[in-house]
Structure 1
Amino acid sequence: MTHSHREQPWRDDERTRGRVILLSANPISAAIEAIAHVVGHEVVVIADDDGGPGLGLAQPSVGDAVVLCDHDAPDAPAVLREALASEASYVAMMASRRRAEGLLEALREEGTPGLDKLRVPAGHNLGGKSAGEIALSVVAEIVAEAYQRPGGPLS
């Protein structure tokens, strides 16, 4: 295959490339990490055994995405409170709507601010079931959010 010297149809836009901060190390977070790297994001993985709950030194800022990849983590409520209080542009949790209901209700009852920016379940509805397919949907949503697009079909 030969390549012409035409102008590339894409552009590198650093403004849309915040970090992707993943909480919990599991097959889905590993797949999100791989795909996010491919699209140009720096990725920070905070494993369950990294000592203590929360985002720690990651300190999310504007443009960053925070994804809680384990809704059953004992510190899930604290992590979500911390992420929602941060400047992160995207905050999401891997969970079915049914599994997330109790946690969301508890956060609402405590008056947790910023719940309107929480995406549950994380990702676009692509119908995928494997870790890679789920990760693709999450990274697609992160990219769409960065460009302020709905993430639907192009045609």
Structure 2
Amino acid sequence: MRLDILSALNREREKRSAVAVVTPLTGEGQRLVLADAVTGDPLAEDLSRAFRAGRSRIVAHEGGEYFIDVHVPSPRLVIIGAVHIAQALAAMGERLGYDITIIDPRTAFASPERFPTVVLRAQWPEDALPDIGLDRFTAVAALTHDPRIDDPALTAALTAGCFYVGALGSRKTHARRLERLAEQGIPADILSRIRAPIGLAIGAISPEEIAVSILAEITQVLRKGEDL
């Protein structure tokens, strides 16, 4: 790999950008491609698939072969609310390779004894989230049912363009939530990105089943949703 490309690659990885190094298997012309700059690229379709899957691959195009070496940041899952669902969701999310952070200002819930293996922030979301640095490779799941806690987190997630934004609650609860957030000036098309009631409709009842439905929906959006 050329030194200039390696240096640029390292810079983008430090910024948690999705980037690929495209190398012709015959001839020269190695280049760096950012996920944001795929449109119009000769290998746009193949690059989009590679970024979505997070996997490197060899592709054929116009008689030539190219190796697309994909570098995608590790996905993060920020859980708002240290509730029973969060315990199951954190454990399952870790198994799937997510970096987990749980935020809840209620210290009775946000205790290391209940969440011994993940990052735990006993803070209000508006205080914790700026330090975390939400981005398009972050999923946010709001689980408290408390607008004072959930609403600021949802607003921050939407503003940051997180790839998944979900919130627990009934359709009636979500309708009221949308009204509150709209009063803050958030456009309807942005609010429509909130997935609520959270999780795929699989008839989940227990905290563990709800966690499964949430992770299934997150996976669906990550792998089949809009291009990152």
1:124 Cα deviation (Å)?
A: 0.2
Match of 1:51 in 2: 123
- Aligned-partner Cα distance in 1 for 2:205–2:153: 25
Q: Residue 45 of structure 1: SS of its match in structure 2?
A: strand
- Quote the RMSD (CA, aligned, Å): 2.1
Unaligned runs of 5+ in 1: 1-10, 150-155
2:17 corresponding residue in structure 1: none
SS in 2 for 1:40: coil
Within the alignment, does 1:105 sit opposite 2:179 as a pair?
yes
Identify which of 17, 21, 29 aligns with 2:78: 21
Shift of 1:75: 3.0
Secondary structure at 1:145 match in 2: helix
In structure 2, runs of 5+ residues without a counterpart are 1-52, 56-70, 107-121
Q: TM-score, normalised by structure 1?
A: 0.80
Q: Decide which structure has greater strand share.
A: 2
Letter in structure 1 aligned against 2:175: E
* Equivalent in the alignment of 2:162: 88
Distance 2:97 2:87 in 1: 15
Q: Is 1:145 aligned to 2:202, yes or no?
A: no
Q: How many residues in Structure 1 have an aligned counterpart in Structure 2?
A: 139
Look up the equivalent residue of 1:145 and give its one-letter code. V
Deviation, 1:17, is: 4.4
User: Which residue of the partner structure matches residue 8 of structure 1?
Assistant: none
Cα distance in 2 between the residues matched to 1:148 and 1:83: 20
CA distance in 1, matches of 2:101, 2:125: 15
- TM-aligned CA deviation for residue 136 of structure 1: 0.3
Q: 1:12 to 1:108 in 2, by over 3 A?
A: closer
Q: Which has the larger radius of gyration?
A: 2
Cα gap change, 1:31 to 1:74, in 2 (>3 Å): same
Q: Compare relative contact order (CA 8 Å, sep 6+) and give the higher one, 1 or 2.
A: 1
Matched, 1:71 2:128: no
Distance in 2 (CA, whole Å) between partners of 1:73 and 1:25 is 15
CA contact (8 A) 2:103 2:124 kept: no
Q: Distance in 2 between matches of 1:20 and 1:44?
A: 6
Compared with structure 1, are the counterparts of its residues 91 and 40 closer, same or farther at alpha carbon in structure 2 (3 Å cutoff)? same
Q: Pick one of 31, 34, 43 that aligns with 2:91.
A: 34
Letter in 1 for 2:131: L
2: CA distance between counterparts of 1:73 and 1:108? Answer: 14
Structure 1 residues 45-54 or 139-148, which shifts more? 45-54
Match of 1:6 in 2: none
Question: How far off is 1:12 after superposition?
Answer: 7.7
Report percent identity of matched pairs.
28
Q: 1:16 to 1:146 in 2, by over 3 A?
A: farther
> Shift in Å at residue 116 of structure 1?
2.1
How far residue 47 of structure 1 moved from its aligned partner, in angstroms, is: 2.0
Q: Is the contact between residue 25 and residue 48 of structure 1 (CA under 8 Å) also seen in structure 2?
A: no
Which AA in structure 1 matches 2:141?
Answer: V
Match of 1:147, SS state, is helix
